[in-house]
Amino acid sequence: MPITEPDQNAAFYVVLNAGSGHAETELRCSTIRDVLAEAGRTCHLHVVDDAAELGDTARRMAEEARRNGGVLVAAGGDGTINTVAHQAVLQGCVFGVLPQGTFNYFGRTHGIPEDLAEAVRALVTSTVQPVQVGMVNDRIFLVNASVGLYPALLEAREQDKRQYGRSRVVAILSALKTALGRHRPLRIALETEGQVRKLRTATLFVGNNRLQMEQVGMEPLTTAVEDGELAAIAPRRVGKLGMLGLLLRGALGRLGEAPNVVAFSFKRLTVKHARLSPRRTVKVATDGEVTRMPMPLEFRVLEGRLALLKPLKPGSQSERAAA
């Protein structure tokens, strides 16, 4: 499907995940409306207070954006961005992002400002660029997908954030607590390009984000993601001290030096149980959202399927022309 620039007067259909207190949500709404009004652009903004309604709201807004030649916009963290982007891919409409999460890997990778007012201004001047997405079964992911320990870590992190507040410190401490606790290893068979390898691991992590690969020190996989592949990382079974060592290496950006980590890139990967198992489904995390999926899992890359409004790089030809 060819990707075209939206009309210069195209309306913005914004899905905002409230997520915070009423006053902060109102401030975000007024900021979005005011900045777009100053630019002379139409804004249709829908606030989602109940996370269970996010998918349906994103679908309705995507349908409206497609019918009217508008731009679908997600305002929230990576999980919200994932849900809204899924509908943008299905409907074939242009997609914009206003990052409002803790880590904002997707927005930072594509040069989208984390300050809300600056991000809204960037929407008006950005150009459309095709972006690859990952898929696991029938769900897309923009940043990562995983099974095993990582989904458990995310569920524990959300509980801790509700109790202690949303911050990177809380997220890190929660991860340490979960990773060093008791958990059952996965026994899986990985099949890619006709080759099968059996693995016993705490978690299988599949990445689709250059920045995240850089931060943990997986440089070869960074290049692979840039070249249209997905990155798989799975630690071999280790004890608690070994797991702590892996976490420290990752935090220091040196995970690629660990001898007990399996890492490779791929375009398509099938994940099965390595032996008969009563479990027909498994918890899978996609961009921070945990759901159950039937086995086997089919991971694949879809190149250029998301039409993203991406800010111009300083000094680019398009920027000089606009000036």
Is pLDDT above 70 for 241? no
Asked, as a colleague might, if the bond just before 113 is cis with ω within 30 of 0, I would say no
The tens digit of pLDDT for each residue in 6-53 reads 888 899 999 999 865 577 889 999 999 999 999 999 999 999 998 889
The tens digit of pLDDT for each residue in 243-264 reads 777 767 777 677 878 888 999 9
User: What pTM was estimated for this model as a whole?
Assistant: 0.85
Residue 226 is given by DSSP the state: H
Q: What burial letters (b/e) apply to 40-74, b meaning 16+ CB within 10 Å?
A: ebebebeebeeeeebeebbbebbbbbbeeebbbbb
Cα 165 to Cα 33: distance, rounded to the nearest angstrom: 28
Q: Rounded mean pLDDT of 216-228? A: 89
Is pLDDT above 90 for 156? no
When computed from its CA atoms, the radius of gyration of the chain, rounded to whole angstroms, is: 20
Is pLDDT above 90 for 120? yes
Is pLDDT above 60 for 289? yes
For helices 116-125 and 22-38, give the axis angle rounded to 10 degrees.
30
Cα 144 to Cα 159: distance, rounded to the nearest angstrom: 20
The tens digit of pLDDT for each residue in 49-100 reads 988 899 999 999 999 999 999 999 999 988 899 999 999 999 999 999 999 8
pLDDT at 277: 60
pLDDT at 253: 79
CA-to-CA dists, residue 174 to 258, 275, 277, 312, angstroms: 23, 32, 30, 37
Residues in the chain: 323
Cα 217 to Cα 195: distance, rounded to the nearest angstrom: 26
The tens digit of pLDDT for each residue in 188-207 reads 999 998 899 999 998 899 99
How remote is the C-alpha of 268 from its chain's centroid? 18
- Residue scoring higher pLDDT (151 or 95): 95
